[in-house]
Chain A
Amino acid sequence: MDEEILQDFLVEAGDLIEQLNEQLVDLEQSPTDADLLNAVFRGFHTIKGGAGFLAITPLIEVCHRAENVFDKIRNGDVPYDAVAVDVILRAFDVVSEGMDLLKAGERELPDNDPVLLADLDRLTKGGSAEPEVEMSVPEGDSVLQLAEGSDPDGDMSDEEFEALLNQRDGGADDETSSPEGLSLAEGVDPDGDMSDEEFEALLNQRDASDLDEPDEVSEEDLTALLSDSDFIAEVAPASSIQPEKTVAKPVSKPTAKTKPVAKPAAESTVRVDTRRLDEIMNLVGELVLVRNRLLTLKSGEASPEDLANAVGNLDHVTTDLQASVMKTRMQPVKKVFGRFPRVVRDLARQLGKEISLELQGEETDLDKNLVEALADPLVHLVRNSVDHGVEMPDVRLAAGKPKGGTVVLAAQQEGDHILLSITDDGKGMDPDVLRQKAVEKGMLDEMTANQLDDKAAFELILAAGFSTADVISDISGRGVGMDVVKTMITKLNGSIDIDSVLGEGTKISIRVPLTLAILPTLMVGFDEDSYAIPLTSVQEIFDYNADKTNKIDGQMMVRLRERSIPLLFLSEWLAPHQVNENNTGDKVIIVSIGNQRVGLVVNQVNGQEEVVIKPLGVMLKKVSGYAGATITGNGSIALILDLPGVLERFQ
């Protein structure tokens, strides 16, 4: 398999899969939308084409059948009903999983579940064509000599296909075994090196031959067929496929074992508009000019103005270049949002709710890494909204709300931040219940709990182990999720805000910086060593004043506007060799870490700096308290503090 072509295929098909994911769900809402049907048809067709080129048979098989189904659907021969949707979605999942396997470095995909293929075939033959499908069994058996005691229960179309595959692989067999009725010739290249066309031709032939003999349908066959179609209905919910799956397993296992140890990692690529590349190239050209200018100035005697000009130019060019390069990393948030229609649809169906999902601001751009990092937390929040937020239809009606609930997923840019929000019009949260739960779980004593304002009460749901669900479902309610979401968002230097009105709904807002690569920081120092604190967390800075501190239960606290805030003396950790009893002249930096405020005591504050985050290397990844390192203006290294990690160190 050509690795380069494969990677191209993965990128292209990956995009198509994302689109299909969304389109398939949209299609369920408007099953007669011709444009949408064509788009889906083309999607499967293109994937099949690519897979055909690379001879990824399992993908070809599924895509080919899906394509056939959609061909029928768009011609109006087959309705796109709930049964069809389920089968098609299963087929889509198989394709999507196959792609994931390929991306993960797997090169041999497991064989397809025959039941799925059969279901797809049945869909294609749906409606009037259905009776004849079964007729093809005896016919196909005798003529194609596929018998060899294979499955006699009428579920033949699939085996037939497999056998045809074998025949094609056999090459020579082609000639001998291709029967009068279904000969492969018909102007098709007979030397065995044919794929799609051959299949298609064969399928068509089979269809044709089926149609030739409608009169041979006996009553027995019909009843068999009826019971068979019942069977289909049973299989559709995708639970009773188990037995077939175990049959398929032994085939797939050996390939998994023989998989090469050196896994070629999936290429991670970004698509960049060529105009943007030209822009960058242009700026690099400018940069070279400035360098040349500076080199000339270095050799000759330069006037201060010339030098200042050149440096000013350099500043200008690098700023533009930075912005341009940053833009190449930007991707529309659609990449994350795209999966949600399906998530919501499946969950709503499972729970028996009626929910429509609205996406807003899909075009908002954000950093590629962020797009990936945000996917999991968002899935969690959306599942929460669907599961806990929106009520069952009857409850909604009783409360005087429309039967179907709405979940809105929105993104917008706010300065150098992105604001993502998940809003539902469900039952909302009751702050009193939350307070009470917190007391029950022993997280707070009653007095503290009662002092919390509503907002703070809502934030309780972010705490580990907090769950208001009385019944734990397999979807949510274990009280683990929100805690994980919060940790992940905090890691991205973001924040979470929760708003809820009982009976009207909940809105969860997430703010994250536009990019992860460049971080505005506050530089602080101990003697020669400098450290960077993410500026987003910094709230205020003031001089250390011993008169305003108290030692409470061994913990130094500082009084600030009638509140006591714990103080962390960073020098205890970062510069233990130079402990000075007297902190005069030190600064206190009040930072917010999650929902907590602490004061960091440092020797000097050196001002703001935008830094490029560089990862710490070997043996330092596990050291907590650092988010990375950066190189400062004078060439020395500053360590970037990871505040949650710092807090951990002091506890």
Chain B
Amino acid sequence: MSDMQEEDYLGASARCVLFTLENEIYGIHVKKIREVLRVGVIRDVAGTPYNVLGVINVRGVIVTVIDTRTMYNMPSKEISELSRIIIVELDDDRAVGMLVDFVMEVKDIPESKIESLSASKDNASRYIQGIAHYQDNVIILIDVDNMFMGHE
């Protein structure tokens, strides 16, 4: 019943792409996402920071791919059939690819369910915008702008 109520919710909501890393569910707002790609050939670039996997060619534009797991201090994982690269738009001419374990779905999350994390907390929560408790799931919302700020 409570699920039904949540589905009927008509207030402001944030539409997010949900994906998993290890056992946790993460979400990124759709307005930041250009597309989701299957993992093709990732060209390794020697001498890059450890969390950069390399670059890919997205229709003529060279896009950096990062291992999202390493951004949250998780060990890297082999790329599987389920792995996807989410192309995130930082601004008009900067995009970045985030390798994730598995892309679940697109969901509208009522803003009332989102509990924002105060930015004053320490570095651990630097890339996290907030946490949503929704339909028995805990969804960690990623602040992508913050994540790549200062990483020119």
By a beta-carbon cutoff of 8 Å, the part of chain A in contact with chain B is: 529, 573-576, 614-626, 628-629, 631, 635-637, 639, 649
Contact = CB atoms under 8 A, between A and B. Distances in A.
B56 interface: yes
Contact of B62 (A573, A616, A623, A625): A616
B52 interface: yes
8 A-B pairs with least C-beta separation: A637-B43, A617-B64, A618-B96, A619-B151, A629-B62, A621-B152, A614-B62, A574-B46
A573 B47 contact: yes
Most A Cβ at <10 Å: residue of B44, B51, B95: B44
Nearest to A621: B152
A629 B48 CA distance: 14
Given A629-B62, A635-B57, A637-B55, A617 B49 contact: no
B90 interface: yes
A616 B55 contact: yes
B62 A637 contact: yes
11 contacts: A573-B47, A575-B46, A576-B46, A614-B60, A617-B63, A617-B64, A619-B66, A619-B96, A623-B47, A631-B57, A636-B43
B46 A617 contact: no
A576 B47 CA distance: 10
Contact of A639 (B45, B51, B63, B96): B45
Contacts of B55: 616-617, 620, 629, 637
Given A629-B62, A637-B62, A617 B45 contact: no
Interface string B34-54: 000000010111111101100
B61 interface: yes
B94 interface: yes
A620 B56 CA distance: 13
Interface of B: 41, 43-49, 51-52, 55-57, 60-64, 66, 90, 94-96, 148, 151-152
Nearest to B41: A636
A617 B96 CA distance: 7
Most buried by B among A573, A617, A622, A625: A617
A574 B49 CA distance: 14
Contacts of A628: 62
Contacts of A622: 152
A388 to B, nearest CB: 38
A642 to B, nearest CB: 12
A600 to B, nearest CB: 14
Contact of B94 (A574, A617, A623): A617
A569 to B, nearest CB: 13
Contact of A618 (B41, B44, B47, B148): B148
Contacts of A617: 55, 62-64, 94-96
A272 to B, nearest CB: 22
Nearest to A649: B47
Given A616-B55, A619-B51, 12 more contacts: A529-B44, A573-B47, A574-B46, A617-B64, A617-B96, A619-B49, A620-B55, A625-B46, A629-B43, A636-B41, A637-B62, A649-B47
Interface centre among A616, A624, A637, A649 (most CB of B within 10 A): A637
Contacts of B63: 617
Interface hub of B44, B47, B49 (most chain A Cβ within 10 A): B47
Contacts of B94: 617-618
A620 B48 contact: yes
B56 A619 contact: no
Contacts of A636: 41, 43, 57
Contacts of B48: 619-620, 623
Contact of A619 (B44, B57, B64): B64
B57 A637 contact: yes
Contacts of A639: 43, 45
Contacts of A621: 152
A51 to B, nearest CB: 30
Contacts of B41: 636
Nearest to A635: B57
Nearest to A575: B46
